[in-house]
A and B are shown apart, each in its own frame.
Chain A
Amino acid sequence: GAVVSQHPSWVICKSGTSVKIECRSLDFQATTMFWYRQFPKQSLMLMATSNEGSKATYEQGVEKDKFLINHASLTLSTLTVTSAHPEDSSFYICSARLAASSYEQYFGPGTRLTVT
């Protein structure tokens, strides 16, 4: 089946620093990837849609200058949390769509970010 990986699986950083999270589709090419945020005991909230070779589309309320998304290749999308604050601490999950016409997504294992 389609496999999506994320790196790192967890990261601790200090306030004010930036953190990059990678999302890779291991055995398929993904023209579209999605970034979600999951707070404890809550559901997944879509942050942005990442399209290969073009700018990401951010959901309302998500600061695009704070959460930088780059989808430079068909197998890699990165999310950079800039100038991180403790309130950015969360579980970040990416997913990839198998094909442009597919409604199905495959999820990565998530990255737990803790900002101290």
Chain B
Amino acid sequence: AQSVSQHNHHVILSEAASLELGCNYSYGGTVNLFWYVQYPGQHLQLLLKYFSGDPLVKGIKGFEAEFIKSKFSFNLRKPSVQWSDTAEYFCAVNGKNTGGFKTIFGAGTRLFVKA
């Protein structure tokens, strides 16, 4: 079945460590890609998005993601995490082939950063 896959369900890092969260999707055609963050007790916030153009996208709070079309991937990265990055991260995709541009979410990755 077509889906959005996030490979890591739980990640634990120490402060200053580098972060990479994997996201793969299986929808063909043109897609729009998103990473959202949900801090404890708060609502979803958009970290970054890719619609077209430069496949390396920079978002808020020092996050970036790279769209690799050949690998159907949109991995999220941050060179040096902080304790305040502890949150759940969701990759999401929409496009013509997700069913009328509906946004499909991955299962989420829960990140815990140790101080």
CB within 8 Å of A: which B1-41 residues: 32, 34, 36
List of B residues within 8 angstroms of A104 by Cβ: 34, 46, 49
CB of A95 to closest CB in B, whole Å: 8
Number of residues on chain A facing chain B (CB within 8 A)? 18
B43 near A109 (CB under 8 angstroms)? yes
B71 to chain A, nearest CB (A): 21
With a cutoff of 8 Å between Cβ atoms, the chain A residues found around residue B49 in the complex are 104
User: How far is the CB of A111 from the nearest CB of chain B, in Å?
Assistant: 11
Instruction: Classify the interface of chain A: helix, strand, loop or mixed.
Output: strand
Q: List 29 A-B contacts (CB under 8 A).
A: A34-B102, A34-B103, A41-B110, A42-B108, A43-B90, A43-B105, A43-B106, A43-B107, A43-B108, A44-B44, A44-B105, A45-B105, A46-B102, A46-B104, A49-B102, A93-B43, A93-B44, A103-B51, A103-B94, A103-B103, A104-B34, A104-B49, A106-B46, A107-B36, A107-B43, A107-B45, A108-B43, A109-B43, A110-B43
B101 at the interface (CB under 8 A from A): yes
Closest Cβ of chain A to B21, distance in Å, is 14
- The yes or no answer to A105 lying at the interface (CB within 8 A) is yes
Question: What's the least CB distance linking B1 to chain A, in Å?
Answer: 12
Give 1 or 0 for each of A19-36: 1 = CB within 8 Å of chain B CB: 000000000000000100
Contact of A107 among B32, B44, B94 (CB under 8 A): B44
Known contacts A103-B51, A103-B94, A104-B49; decide if A46 and B43 are in contact (CB<8 Å).
Answer: no
The answer to whether B42 touches A109 (Cβ under 8 A) is yes
Q: Which of A41, A44, A95 makes the CB contact (< 8 A) with B90?
A: A44
Complex CA gap A54/B21 in Å reads 39
Query: Can you name the residue of chain A whose Cβ is closest to the Cβ of B4?
Result: A43
- Complex CA–CA separation, A110 to B46 (angstroms): 15
| Beta-carbon contacts under 8 Å, A97-116 to B | 103-110
Q: Which residue of A lies closest to B45 (CB)?
A: A107
A42 to B107, CA, bound (A): 6
